[in-house]
A and B are shown apart, each in its own frame.
Chain A
Amino acid sequence: MKDNNRFRLDTWGAITLAVLGLYLLFMVYPLGNLIKMAFYGDNGFTLDNFVKFFSKQYYSSTLGNSFKVSLAATITSLLVGVPMAYFFAMYRIRGKGLLRILIIISSMSAPFVGAYAWILLLGRNGVVTNFLQNLLGISVPDIYGFNGMLLVFTTQLFSLIFLYVAGALSKVDNSLLEASENMGCVGVRRFFTVVLPLITPTVLAGALLVFIRALSDFGTPMLIGEGYRTFPVILYTEFVGEVSQNKGFASAIAVIAIIITTVVFYAQNFVSKRKSFSMNSLHPIEPKPLRGVKGILVYVFCYVVVGIAILPQVYVLYTSFKKTSGTIYVDGYSLDSYINMFTRLGSSIQNTLIIPVVALVAVVLLAVLIAYLSVRRRNALTSTVDVLSMVPYIIPGTVVGIALVTSFNHKPLAFTGTMFIMAMALVIRRLPYTIRSSVAILQQIPITIEEAALSLGSPKMKTFFQITVPMMSSGIISGAILSWVTMISELSTAMILYTGRTQTLTVAIYTQIIRGNYGIAAAMASVLTVITVISLLVFNRFSKNGEITM
């Protein structure tokens, strides 16, 4: 081994080139293609698509809408998620373990299922709406549009903030809190002057993730948005539009979406960098018992929030056992929904298992290799791979879908409509998260362990597979299970890419909801939830500290 930080065409050099090639083919080329379509019409270079977007209120308003609802959702998620994580870290709360699992489950479910459940509960003909209306004469505020989206996003995405902040708080040393207490600073004041500044970078990272998730979510605004059109909705309707397909225009919208998320990403990065600390706690914060009115308030807050967050899942599960007649629920219970489900599923359960499994193998392999390259072999080429691999983090799933579908629809690369392209989309979208967690694991492993193996005569690749990979394995497995869970509940890319043969469970659920087959949709969603819960239980077995990296 000469200088590790200079490119050499050894095994690792070849791997670098191969990974780079994959990114060029499956990400740079499709995105480049997308940008080309946005700027080139039949008569060469044109800005017509952009002019059309900004000159018509119908389109340009979606920009403001998306921004408003995403920003609002980010703020409400912070307002719920940060205090929740803080209470969990500071106080002994009964049932904490259960609450944690419920929060994770709610965060892992597909948002559009939440949207659909909230319609059943609070919609025009919702159970709660009717109940309040008939018995108490109270009319519930309109759930459709901005309010409903905010509700769905908050109840689902606060969990991301919660998990991020809980992770950061576990690294705050108790002595910092004690020192602050010693100097007479406690309670809310201590939270704002000591705790919050320490976890600011994490809070910002979580906020970015929430903002981007909300901005690029497609299912929620489709179901509950109604007149409140957001970006991904017009992106989708323009792209697959039954009346007129305008790929150039859809591409232009996609380009605008990428620009917005990129700006937000860099703004977040800029702020985070200036406020980051490295912490490692010897003595984690010791949770204290709760007493008095304060205690009651904390309990009420935690249980009510988690209750609301998990309510959609529970209600969907409940309705899946209700008797249906056609598309309407009637009194009584039955398993009909499950029985009918199988006639509508086609191969979607298989697809939901096979596509993510294939994607998962590729994600894990690539993530481990890329993480190794970027930690142990820093050079210009591996840095390029590193940057490229992070790009999909800020690109909405719908955009990835459109880019792939338009770039691989002709020979020699006719992948559109195949399982391969669906798996590829999942790989591209999930890699940034898995790479990040693998990098974190690898940085914990001292390089001397590898050097010891080399000095004992073990060749480089053998060292990697016999020493490095086994040491990373528990982290890799728990990361893989999380990837798996997000993959099976993915909708926005699948909606663009699927065909009859490659329909997934989420697509099937969505289709059934749109058609009004609520019973079947509920049964399918319950199946998805069960798969998710089982996966998370497996995750808990493999994860050392139950820490979740999204």
Chain B
Amino acid sequence: MSQITIKNAVKRYGSTTVISGLSLDIRDGELFTLLGPSGCGKTTLLRMIAGFNSIEGGDFYFNGERINDKEPNKRNIGMVFQNYAIFPHLTVRENVAFGLKNRKLDRATIARETDRFLDMMQIRQYADRLPENLSGGQQQRVALARALVIRPDVLLMDEPLSNLDAKLRLEMRQAIRDIQKEVGITTVYVTHDQEEAMSISDTIAVMRDGAIQHLGTPRDLYQRPGNLFVATFIGRTNILPGELRGGALVLPSGYAVEAPDWQDIPDQKVQVSVRPEEFVIGPAGAAGIPGTVVDSVYLGLNTHYIVDIGLEQKAELIRESTIDDEVVPGSQISLTVKREKINLFDQQGEHNLLRG
């Protein structure tokens, strides 16, 4: 088993620096996700770990051993690619056995291990077929079996689900999580899909412009995002201008809220992140932000409202559907916030003031 340490990694393409001095630790056996919009450098970093991209600076360690100059075929990694990269001229069994053959194991061991992983991934019945006759989901299972059968120190997955349709994606997501826990392998997973990242990961590193914005558990990321970018990238949120005065938050329209956590924060202008479910609807005229319902969308469990609160950006909120919906478009309402849940950022949006 294995842990990965990256110190001050630098990646340059010609004169453009894509990653400048990135450091992180990945614990043994955890599923670690690099999450970010396209072009943030997550795949670049993954390929540096795999050895497919050159490393312009910094150190990469597997279990304390520096691997910067190790050829990719000596790193003992298992990799799953976005396009699966199944060898089309080999059968499913030959694909899975490929890595074992390179390790010069005896025939019986190869057959036994191959079968074990074919069974684990439930693809035994396709063992003697050529990959072109398999569906996307089945191909992904072959790719996963092929990567795991060699008992790699780490498993790297580059957007493995993005070529699958929605239903299969959910199914494979669970399968990957189950297998990863069963085998207990340290896994680095790259995705741009925040929902996928939240559902599968032990730890997530949110990246932007080649730098880590926030590293934490899914719960931590959602509840106390490190900066405004993370708050908007993970889940949905409303950003309102506000001001802290003596531990009280004053929102537009003069609505003020107090919370014990805010007492020690110096007075300043802030940006407030209120997620759709962190608003509470009250009757018009009650204390809160006055607004007009513009639209409502019934989604079964929840109902979704768009509310004009006098700002350029209309507020978005969600609450559990009620039997009779009295909040119809055109209604005047008043909004309050769940003070223990909302987040406050500095004026630039670079720091969450509640994270100390």
Contact = CB atoms under 8 A, between A and B. Distances in A.
Interface in A3-19: 3
A446 B52 CA distance: 14
B167 interface: no
Interface string A1-40: 1110000000000000000000000000000000000000
A137 interface: no
Contacts of A1: 51-52, 71-72
B112 interface: no
A449 B79 CA distance: 11
B150 interface: yes
B341 to A, nearest CB: 42
B277 to A, nearest CB: 40
B50 A458 contact: no
B54 A2 contact: yes
Nearest to A450: B85
A141 interface: no
A451 B103 contact: no
Contact of A449 (B87, B147, B150): B87
A471 B89 CA distance: 7
Contacts of A2: 54
Nearest to B72: A454
A467 B73 CA distance: 14
B102 A451 contact: no
Contacts of A260: none
Contact of B79 (A452, A458, A467): A452
Interface in B44-92: 50-52, 54, 71-79, 81-83, 85-89
A467 B51 CA distance: 19
B338 to A, nearest CB: 46
B150 A457 contact: yes
B51 to A, nearest CB: 6
Contacts of B73: 454-460
A460 B73 CA distance: 8
A448 interface: yes
B290 interface: no
Interface string B116-144: 00000000000000000000000000010
Contacts of A453: 87, 98
A359 B99 CA distance: 36
A12 to B, nearest CB: 13
A455 B71 CA distance: 9
Nearest to B50: A455
Contacts of B214: none
B42 interface: no
A542 to B, nearest CB: 15
A270 B202 CA distance: 55
Contacts of B99: 456-458
B146 interface: yes
A455 B98 contact: no
Most buried by B among A446, A452, A459: A452
B146 A456 contact: yes
B93 to A, nearest CB: 14
Interface string B245-277: 000000000000000000000000000000000
Interface residues of B, number: 30
Contacts of B156: 455
Contact of A458 (B54, B82, B83, B102): B102
Nearest to A458: B102
Nearest to B146: A456
Contact of B81 (A448, A460, A471): A448
A64 interface: no
Contacts of A241: none
A456 B98 CA distance: 7
Contacts of A446: 83, 85
Contacts of A458: 73, 98-99, 102
A392 B322 CA distance: 79
Interface in A436-450: 446, 448-449
Contacts of B103: 457
Contacts of A467: 87
A446 B82 CA distance: 11
A449 to B, nearest CB: 5
A142 to B, nearest CB: 58
A451 B81 contact: yes
B52 A451 contact: yes
Interface string B94-109: 0000110011000000
Given A1-B51, A1-B52, A2-B54, A455 B77 contact: yes
B87 A452 contact: yes
B83 A457 contact: no
Contacts of B71: 1, 454, 459
A150 B156 CA distance: 63
A455 B76 CA distance: 7
Contacts of A454: 51-52, 71-73
Nearest to A451: B52
Contacts of B87: 449, 452-453, 467, 471
Contact of A455 (B72, B83, B86): B72
A292 B75 CA distance: 70
B179 to A, nearest CB: 18
Contacts of B98: 453, 456, 458
A546 interface: no
Interface in A452-488: 452-460, 462, 467, 470-471
A457 B78 CA distance: 9
Most buried by B among A448, A460, A470: A448
Interface string A301-328: 0000000000000000000000000000
Contacts of A471: 87-89
A1 to B, nearest CB: 6
Nearest to A474: B89
B97 to A, nearest CB: 10
A451 B85 contact: yes
A472 to B, nearest CB: 10
A470 B71 CA distance: 23
A125 B71 CA distance: 73
A480 B85 CA distance: 27
Given A1-B52, A2-B54, A456 B85 contact: no
A64 B86 CA distance: 57
B81 A452 contact: yes
Contacts of B83: 446, 448
B72 A448 contact: no
A1 B71 CA distance: 6
13 contacts: A1-B71, A1-B72, A446-B85, A448-B83, A449-B86, A449-B87, A451-B52, A452-B85, A455-B73, A456-B98, A456-B150, A457-B150, A460-B73
Interface of A: 1-3, 446, 448-449, 451-460, 462, 467, 470-471
Given A451-B50, A454-B72, 14 more contacts: A3-B54, A448-B83, A449-B86, A449-B87, A451-B79, A452-B143, A453-B98, A454-B51, A455-B77, A455-B78, A456-B73, A456-B147, A457-B99, A458-B99
4 smallest CB-CB distances across A and B, nearest first, come from A456-B99, A457-B102, A452-B85, A448-B85
